[in-house]
Amino acid sequence: MKSYIEAGKAVLGIEFGSTRIKAVLIGEDRAPIASGSHDWENSLVNGIWTYSLDDIWSGLQDCYAQLAKDVKTRYDAEITSLGAIGFSAMMHGYMAFDKDGELLVPFRTWRNAITEDASRKLTALFDYPIPQRWSIAHLYQAMLNGEEHVKDITFQTTLAGYIHWKLSGRKVLGVGEASGMFPIDTATKKFNSRMIEQFNSLTGDYPWTLDEILPEVLLAGDDAGTLTAEGAKLLDVSGKLRPGIPMCPPEGDAGTGMVATDSVKVRTGNISAGTSVFGMVVLENDLKAVHPEIDLVTTPSGELVGMVHCNNCTSDLNAWVNCFKGCLSAYGVEVSMPKLYDTFYFEAVKGSADCGNVLTYNYVSGENITGMEIGRPLVVRTPESKFDFPNFAKAILYSTLSVLKIGLDIMLVDEGVKLDSITGHGGLYKTPEVGQQITANAINAPVTVMETAGEGGAWGIAVLADYMINKADGEALDAYLENKVFAGSKGTTLAPQPEQVEGFNVFIERYKKGLAIERAAIDNMD
């Protein structure tokens, strides 16, 4: 492996998640051979969830440095070149730049539920669902607000597109990431030209049209440029990394999640459960109706996908586990975090199927699907509820998936979308079987977790970078994944448990009725 790395043949993927930036280096068999990471956290600044540019670059550089350190420790090797690089990040949000390449307003992440008016008006104009997270909703809301910076925009992109631009000089996006900015025409695999014309009718006296400020859309496998000398210095502050490395189209965490779970074929799906949670199904046909709860995005190769995106998943769970750690520490008991999480999960299994009438809302931030613009995490019970640790733990785990279930039921039940397989990945599935089983019970369908699931999107974007340089002529992404990446891969599949399915259904009906409690907390608690 030392000679392979030093020959510059290894492929690197880096993904900017909500709480962690992760780098994964893969070898000839496309399995991870080294990794690095950097923990970070968004900030609420003047009512806007954001990350500073300094945090973006210092985080990337530390993540890469940790990867280089891991390579040195494992193989006594130095990285000076790579076969290819891919960058990915959390989708959506708003990054607008002027003619000098300066960011006009602080980065507005997907987590901001501040574009309801724009989302509603654009959905009506396009007859196509435009969620509040989407970049076009943020742009139009800024226009509706009369924000001064809008007239100075010359380029708008996402976090993944920004990183790629600064490292390669190319203003491009992979089609999956682009589909979270603006609707894609699945026939042309480009931004929908009819809808661009409709939007341009709204721009009035602005000195730009939408098509002029959006990035170029590329498909998986397309050439997206190379690492420039300036980019190499930005990525590797040690100066050892040489420029000229091929770069694949930057993708979003939805697309890399599909790749990491072999879910790019029609009638396959995946659930990515971390800080946020989203479930995706590759559709055979268009949906019969417009559903604001369903994002219509694409795979990295441009196939239509129905996605349910929920802003909140494990953040409240993490807060409770940390609270219990503090409690134990106060008693002089020190327990490792993995042990704390595993115990929390395994105790949840012992809870009643409906959580004993204990109700929780994990809304650290707003939740568009249930109409909450900001969050107020809650635990609610009656005097008669069976309030014990197993039921409490189970309710916390149920709440991580409750909004997802509401959205997926629209596709799988109301629309009758067919699903052959669904795969779970992300932090919710680190403890063996528990999160996986609860997911199967929530959606009433078998759920598979693969051995590679813990590698997540950083591995997924590394695989896309490898696909770009190693695919055979005419080899489609789904065939490449099936034959070269996942052939012989191992995983476990858990079927839903009828009694637990019914218990989750009871919980979710109680959850829907209790949304008025969440609304009251938002309205009355500053």
Distance, in Å, from the CA atom of 16 to the CA atom of 418, rounded to the nearest integer, reads: 32
Query: Residue 150 has which token pair?
Result: 């809008």
Q: Tell me, letter by letter, the H, E, C secondary structure of 190-240.
A: EECHHHHHHHHCCCCCCCCCHHHHCCEEECCCCCCCECCHHHHHHHCCCCC
- C-alpha pair distances (Å), 38 with each of 18, 265, 314: 11, 32, 18
Quickly list DSSP for 161-184. Answer: HHHHHHHHS--EEEHHHHTTTS-E
What confidence tens digit (pLDDT) does each residue in 150-177 have? 999 999 999 999 999 999 999 999 999 9
With cut-offs at 50, 70 and 90, classify the pLDDT of residue 512: very high
Distance, in Å, from the CA atom of 12 to the CA atom of 64, rounded to the nearest integer, reads: 10
Domains of the chain: 2-112+154-252 (3.30.420.40), 262-309+406-493 (3.30.420.40), 315-400+498-524 (no CATH)
- C-alpha pair distances (Å), 183 with each of 116, 189, 195, 426: 18, 10, 8, 27
Neighbours of 464 (CB within 10 A): 31
Q: Say if residue 236's pLDDT is above 60.
A: yes
Main-chain dihedrals φ then ψ at residue 405, nearest 5 degrees = -60, -40
Within 13 Å, how many C-alpha atoms sit on residue 29's CB side? 8
What confidence tens digit (pLDDT) does each residue in 337-355 have? 999 999 999 999 999 999 9
∠ Cα 246 466 486 (to 5°): 170
Q: Say if residue 452's pLDDT is above 60.
A: no
Handedness of CA 465, 467, 473, 477 (dihedral sign): negative
Within 13 Å, how many C-alpha atoms sit on residue 111's CB side? 26
pLDDT score, position 224: 98
**Strand 48-50 versus strand 216-218 pairing type:** unpaired
What confidence tens digit (pLDDT) does each residue in 248-293 have? 999 999 899 899 889 999 999 999 888 889 899 999 999 999 998 9
With cut-offs at 50, 70 and 90, classify the pLDDT of residue 455: low
Q: Say if residue 37's pLDDT is above 90.
A: yes
pLDDT score, position 420: 85
Quickly list DSSP for 29-70. Answer: TS-EEEEEEEE---EEETTEEE--HHHHHHHHHHHHHHHHHH
Distance, in Å, from the CA atom of 396 to the CA atom of 400, rounded to the nearest integer, reads: 7
Query: Which residues are CB-contacts of 311 (< 8 A; sequence separation ≥ 6)?
Result: 110, 111, 113, 276, 365, 366, 367, 368, 375
- C-alpha pair distances (Å), 489 with each of 105, 173, 259, 331, 485: 45, 30, 14, 44, 8
Ramachandran area for residue 158 (φ above 0: left; ψ -120 to 50: alpha; else beta)? beta
Q: Indicate the DSSP class of residue 249.
A: P
Which whole number is the average pLDDT over 296-308? 95
- C-alpha pair distances (Å), 482 with each of 51, 265, 477: 37, 10, 9
pLDDT score, position 209: 97
Distance, in Å, from the CA atom of 496 to the CA atom of 179, rounded to the nearest integer, reads: 32
Query: Residue 44 has which token pair?
Result: 């609420």
Q: Is the pTM of this model over 0.85?
A: no
Which whole number is the average pLDDT over 66-83? 97
Q: Are 395 and 355 in contact (CB under 8 A)?
A: yes
Q: Tell me, letter by letter, the H, E, C secondary structure of 445-487.
A: CCEEEEHHHHHHHHHHHHHHHHHHHHCCCCCCHHHHHHHHHCC
Q: Are 175 and 184 in contact (CB under 8 A)?
A: yes
With cut-offs at 50, 70 and 90, classify the pLDDT of residue 8: very high
pLDDT score, position 190: 97
pLDDT score, position 376: 97
Distance, in Å, from the CA atom of 467 to the CA atom of 476, rounded to the nearest integer, reads: 9
The candidate with the shortest Cα–Cα distance to 439, out of 431, 430, 429, is: 429
Q: Indicate the DSSP class of residue 134.
A: S
Query: Which residues are CB-contacts of 125 (< 8 A; sequence separation ≥ 6)?
Result: 198, 199, 202
What confidence tens digit (pLDDT) does each residue in 103-113 have? 999 999 988 88
Q: Are 67 and 26 in contact (CB under 8 A)?
A: no
Distance, in Å, from the CA atom of 24 to the CA atom of 34, rounded to the nearest integer, reads: 6
Beta bridge partners of 280: 270, 307
